[in-house]
Amino acid sequence: MTAIFSNPPEFFWFLPTSGDGPYLGSDIGHRPVSNRYLREIAVAADRLGYTGVLVPTGRHCEEPWITAASIAPFTEKLRFLLAVRTGLYTPALLSRQFAALDRLTGGRILANIVPGGSASEMTGDGIFLDHDARYDHAAEFCTVLKRLLQGEEVTFHGEHIHIERGRQIFPPVQRPHPPLYFGGSSDAAHKLVAEQLDAYLSWAEPVADVAAKIADVRARAARVGRTIRYGLRVHLIVRETDAEARAAAEKLISHLSDETIARTQAAFRTQSDSEGQRRMAALHQGRRDKLEIAPNLWAGVGLVRGGAGTALVGSPKTVATRLKEYADLGIDTFVTSGYPHLEETYRVAELLFPYLGITSPRGGVEPAPIADYVSTVGPGVLSAQTPPLRVASAS
């Protein structure tokens, strides 16, 4: 089997901080959030060679920065891509939290800047800004945050942010500042990421649509003399064959009622002002009979989940081939997940990583494979008949 990627991409997984389970839109097998469960996923991802985990924000999730602080000590190399609702913080507070966690984890913290896409959730958080004003706020916020993290003394009087002689005394490990990722599909979103941020993440739309978004962001960045990185956020349903993967996708929504779909889609329409969310919903239009919206790109997750709503479905070779089509657009980072997240952490690593060229487990020295040991002491050591090896005793 030949790897489809000559250079392994950055490959992130996801911490399900609002709960997990084997079926979408159903309580069957539901796994509530607990430190132990999230830790199991993070430890597995760390050992299996994932670059890091995305930790989302929103009122239905555990708070991401607190969650990461409680999980990171159990991991060694795993990075934490932590969502930030910019309206919930001051730049000074975030800069302090960011530097502290970056320092205490040895430089493993990244931020995903999310100005937010639900007006009603925003007002519940005390943020009374419309969509574009939230982006204006986020732009000022990021300007000040970056300068603080770089160690500057900052005085800034913007429309939204005011700060006088602000200082971050403890520098983060990652310099000049830890990377700032971002996802959003509106005009204001593309402007913000092109002008200020380090990496643009897109939910997985068909390749041509993602290509158009990247081309727009790239052109805007070039106009201000910047280059940034690109990433894709996508669910994965990988099985040994395409047919098994398709069956697993159907199983995932087998307990999802039409009523739940209708209610969820209505909520997205009335409560969300996110262009990205509108584009996700338009892919399936709430219909469960036309979910393969591009080859191997399945929109079933978005019937009931906000945000990332599409999955690549297929055998390891099929999925790797599809990922490569996105990589050819300039994408070098994938942020992935699958239900339930613990089992799928293993399945994706075991089945897909060889095709991506991700080979070495991370996080410390692994014991030698048993086969190596057997070959040094001769065959038969592991057979049922052989008594356990014993240290020579005096008797």
Ligand X SMILES: Cc1cc2nc3c(=O)[nH]c(=O)nc-3n(C[C@H](O)[C@H](O)[C@H](O)COP(=O)(O)O)c2cc1C
Residues that bind ligand X (CB under 6 A): 56-58, 83, 112, 114-117, 183-186, 189, 201, 203, 233, 274-277, 307, 335
CB of 376 to ligand X, least distance (A): 47
Smaller CB distance to ligand X: residue 216 or 275? Answer: 275
Which residue from 97, 71, 99 is spatially nearest to 13, judged by alpha carbons? 71
Smaller CB distance to ligand X: residue 103 or 305? Answer: 305
> How many of the other CB atoms lie within 10 Å of CB of 11?
23
Smaller CB distance to ligand X: residue 135 or 339? Answer: 135
Q: Measured between alpha carbons, how far is residue 237 from residues 162, 172, 252, 279 in Å?
A: 46, 37, 10, 21
CB of 135 to ligand X, least distance (A): 7
Alpha carbon 306 to chain centroid distance? Answer: 14
Is residue 81 within 8 Å of 135, Cβ to Cβ?
A: no
CB of 188 to ligand X, least distance (A): 6
CB of 230 to ligand X, least distance (A): 11
Smaller CB distance to ligand X: residue 9 or 307? Answer: 307
Smaller CB distance to ligand X: residue 123 or 359? Answer: 123
Measured between alpha carbons, how far is 64 from 58 in angstroms, rounded to an integer?
Answer: 9
Smaller CB distance to ligand X: residue 54 or 154? Answer: 54
CB of 366 to ligand X, least distance (A): 31
CB of 201 to ligand X, least distance (A): 4
CB of 177 to ligand X, least distance (A): 19
The alpha-helical segments, DSSP class H, found in the chain are 35-48, 64-71, 91-104, 119-124, 131-149, 187-196, 207-223, 242-252, 258-271, 275-284, 316-327, 341-356, 370-377
Smaller CB distance to ligand X: residue 47 or 230? Answer: 230
Whose tokens are 């996801």? That residue is 14
Instruction: Say if residue 357 is exposed, middle or buried (CB neighbours under 10 Å; 0-12, 13-18, 19+).
Output: middle
Smaller CB distance to ligand X: residue 130 or 328? Answer: 130
Instruction: Find the helix or strand (DSSP H, E) in which 33 lies.
Output: none
- Cβ neighbours of residue 364 closer than 8 Å, sequence gap 6 or more: 76
> How many of the other CB atoms lie within 10 Å of CB of 257?
12
CB of 307 to ligand X, least distance (A): 6
